Amino acid sequence: MSANGLLRSTLVAMTIPATIALSGCIFEDPQHDPSGLAIGAPAENQSFDDYVQKTREQLRTALKAKRFDKEAAPFSQYDLDQVVAMRAPFASGPNKAACDAAGNDTAHGKDVGFLMVHGLTDSPFLMTDVRDTLQSKFPCATFHGLLLPGHGTVPGDLVDVSYEDWIKTVRYGMDGFANGTDHVITIGYSMGAALIGREFDARRRDPRMTAMVLLSPGFAAKSDQAWLTPYARYVQSWVGKGENSDAAKYGSMAMNAAAEFHLLTEPYRDGTMDTFDIPVFMVASSDDHTVDPLLAADFFCNKVTNDNKRLIWYQGEEHLIDEHPLCEGVDIVKSAAPDWRTLNHAHTAITMHPDNQHYGMDGIIRRCDHYDEQSANSKCQTSSDAVYGELNLSDSASPGSLRRGTFNPDFVSMLDKMTHFIEVSLEVPGKTAN
């Protein structure tokens, strides 16, 4: 056996108990098989509007065949049209009336394109509250949202996806704006942040790239076992199988998807990514249980060289930033928000408004899947005084009292700061970097 083969065999043997421990609750259902209708990378010569329409049709076909034809109500009260609308890519052009009233200028988004990229197992719906707020601020702009390959249909379609297809899709999105678009501002959440960073690194001489917004940036997984995933996928298909009833995202994580995320983020982890001389707005939670927030802070301080940069650091239970050399542009915001029954910011909370009908405080989705015991899970779902936070609090909270956060109590303030950052990036007169 070659040295590489021996190494792989050894690591696979090491991985088996680790991946079994990661598996959690197992729900056996057909959603964990490939659909045969997986979303792939768009054709390069396809217009963005055609891409949106064709993807919507493909989603409809897949979801009808694999979910709605087989289950009475696979996503609770949501019907097929609603689920397709939530998961599909989007293209929204300028609001002509609002644009004309605002002055039809760069300050209000004229000739500006926003490209929005969701995270792993998510969908474009996770970007819609940010989109809608920015549309009100920049009514002359165009907003495009991508659906990454392997997403939107069933979790089984992540079993064969590759990060190269994700990058190819982001590249397509960058080139998908109409001629005359002078500024492109990319907004990525979680893995989406890593993807837009990789694409910036590949096209540094593109003069349209004006600014980057990185929300809960996924530059490395939080788990110290993530390095095993490229080997574990050969012996175990799933990191964890969950209930797939959320209309906006998957509840299961394929081991292959975790492995491809690990490979995608290698340049961030090993420090080989070159410096970013582009305006960057970043938001991270000290208590993030999904990705490594300190690596994001390190990247912000040591790799972002542009003077127009800002990091909103939501300070919760973990005081990592206290031991990190601070740099200019770090805005430390207390995470706890008693009025919103929020103890700290979860990874899953950053992009959503508290009033969101799906993920907001009074929304449909209540993240309680960290409770395996039925009585605790039921209490979490139904309690009128359950609190919201990240999973690092689950051991200290009484059983059933903690919901994983799905909304950001600081959303309005965050978007005000983001808007100012974008105005400075667009060189709007009278706007200066803080």
Tell me the per-residue pLDDT of 285-295, one tens digit each, with 9 for 90 and over: 999 999 999 99
Cα–Cα separations (whole angstroms), residue 53 to 47, 60, 168, 366:
10, 11, 19, 31
CA nearest neighbour of 425 among 281, 274, 276: 281
Angle CA(195)–CA(199)–CA(204) in degrees, nearest 5?
A: 145
If one counts every other C-beta atom within 10 angstroms of the C-beta of residue 70, the result is 12
Q: Sorting pLDDT into bands at 50, 70 and 90, what band is 28? A: low
If one counts every other C-beta atom within 10 angstroms of the C-beta of residue 401, the result is 17
Residue-wise pLDDT tens digits, 369-396: 999 999 999 999 999 999 999 999 998 8
SS3 143: strand
Matching residue, tokens 């990191």: 239
SS3 349: helix
Residue-wise pLDDT tens digits, 123-137: 999 999 999 999 999
d(CA 354, CA 129): 10
Of residues 10 and 318, more confidently modeled: 318
> 324-358: buried (b, 16+ CB within 10 Å) or exposed (e) per residue?
eeeeebbeebebbbeebbbbbbbbbbbbbbbebeb
What type of residue is 61?
Answer: T
Query: Residue 49 has what pLDDT?
Result: 97
d(CA 434, CA 426): 15
> Which helix (H) or strand (E) element contains residue 51?
helix 48-63
d(CA 242, CA 253): 8
Say yes or no to pLDDT of 10 above 60: no
Percent of the chain with pLDDT over 90: 88
Query: Residue 20 has what pLDDT?
Result: 37
| Beta carbons of 192 and 147 less than 8 angstroms apart | no
User: How many Å separate Cα 257 from the centre of its chain?
Assistant: 14
Structure tokens at 19: 């991946």
Matching residue, tokens 């208590």: 287
If one counts every other C-beta atom within 10 angstroms of the C-beta of residue 411, the result is 22
d(CA 42, CA 193): 20
Quick one: angle between helices 128-137 and 411-425, nearest 10? Answer: 50
Residue-wise pLDDT tens digits, 321-355: 776 767 889 999 999 999 999 999 999 999 999 99
Residue-wise pLDDT tens digits, 192-239: 999 999 999 999 889 999 999 999 999 999 999 999 999 999 999 999
Residue-wise pLDDT tens digits, 12-26: 444 444 443 343 444
> Which helix (H) or strand (E) element contains residue 258?
helix 255-264
Helices (H), 138-228: 163-174, 191-202
Residue-wise pLDDT tens digits, 161-196: 999 999 999 999 999 999 999 999 999 999 999 999
Angle CA(86)–CA(90)–CA(94) in degrees, nearest 5?
A: 130
d(CA 17, CA 25): 16
This prediction has a pTM of 0.93
